Amino acid sequence: MDSVQDKNEREITLDYEWNKFRNTIGQRVLPMIENIYGGLSYDLPKPGGIIKNDSLYANSAFPGLSIKYTLDGSLPNSRA
C-alpha cells in the first residue's frame, strides 16, 4: 500500500512532469511542426478566459502559444 507521503510525492511529480510535457509541446513541438509543414491545421483545446475589471485574462493548455481574438465576432486572422 502507498503511504500518504508517497501519494503526495507522486502527485507532485505527476504535476511537474505534466507541466514539462505541456511546455515542450507548446514551445518546441508545435512551432517545429509549423516550421516544417507550414499551414498544417491541428485541433487544440480551446483557451479559457475571464473578463475582470475590463481586462481579458486568458490561458492556454499549452504555454507559449498565441491566443488571438476579435471584438466583433469575426474569425481572428494573423493581425488579431
Distance of CA 55 to the CA centre of its chain: 20
Q: Report which secondary-structure segment, H or E, holds 49.
A: strand 48-52
Give the pLDDT score at 3: 64
- Is residue 70 domain-resident? no
Q: Note whether residue 18 is domain-resident.
A: yes
Q: Is residue 48 part of a domain?
A: yes
**CB neighbours of 30 closer than 8 A, spacing ≥ 6?**
42, 62, 64, 65
Is the pTM higher than 0.75? The answer reads no
| Per-residue pLDDT tens digits for 15-29 | 999 999 999 999 999
> Does residue 31 form part of some domain?
yes
Per-residue pLDDT reduced to its tens digit, 32-70: 998 999 878 878 888 899 999 999 999 988 888 888 888
Range of the domain at 8: 4-59
**Residue 48: its pLDDT value, please?**
92
In a domain, 28, yes or no: yes
